[in-house]
Amino acid sequence: MEATARKLDTYMEEEYRVEQTEKTVRRKVRRQSSERLVYLKRRFFIALSVLMVFLASLIILNGYASISELKMEISQMDKEIVNLNKSKQNLTGKVEELKSSSNIVAEAKYKLGMVYPDESQVVYFTLDESTGETIEDEGVINRVITALKTLSISF
């Protein structure tokens, strides 16, 4: 029995060693799997960080692109404003030139052939308001009265 007891002890010791070995193997496997999980988590975090930085860079570059586009539009509009102001000044000068009485008289005389009338060519008349007929006036007094009437009507 003693031999059987020794065999049993040896068998129990071996079984205990196998259990301990299995436990250490399980621990190693768990440790390796947890280490692998930590490694994968770190890799995922790094990849996610790189992606976030890339996206943030794209957003910033897009903002700079739109800002530079707006600056270009502003500079084009400034150039257009300068050109329009030059055109406005030219046109204002032309209008002032056309409005001046000396130019109007010169154009009337030389281009259209107009001249000032002589005293003999001027005829004064009065319109009778009730009948609508014209009454020819002769004399200086009637001319002065007609002129005064015309001035009083205009005011």
pLDDT tens-digit profile of 93-149?
A: 988 887 888 888 888 888 888 877 776 667 766 666 666 566 655 566 666 776 777
User: How close are the terminal C-alpha atoms of the chain, in Å?
Assistant: 154
- pLDDT value at position 3? 66
- 135 CB contacts (<8 Å, ≥6 apart)? 125, 126, 127, 128
pLDDT digits (tens, 9 = 90+) for 73-82: 999 999 999 9
Out of 6-10, 41-45, 62-66, which region has the weakest mean confidence (pLDDT)?
6-10
101, 152, 150, 104: which is closest to 126 by C-alpha? Answer: 150
pTM (2 d.p.): 0.42
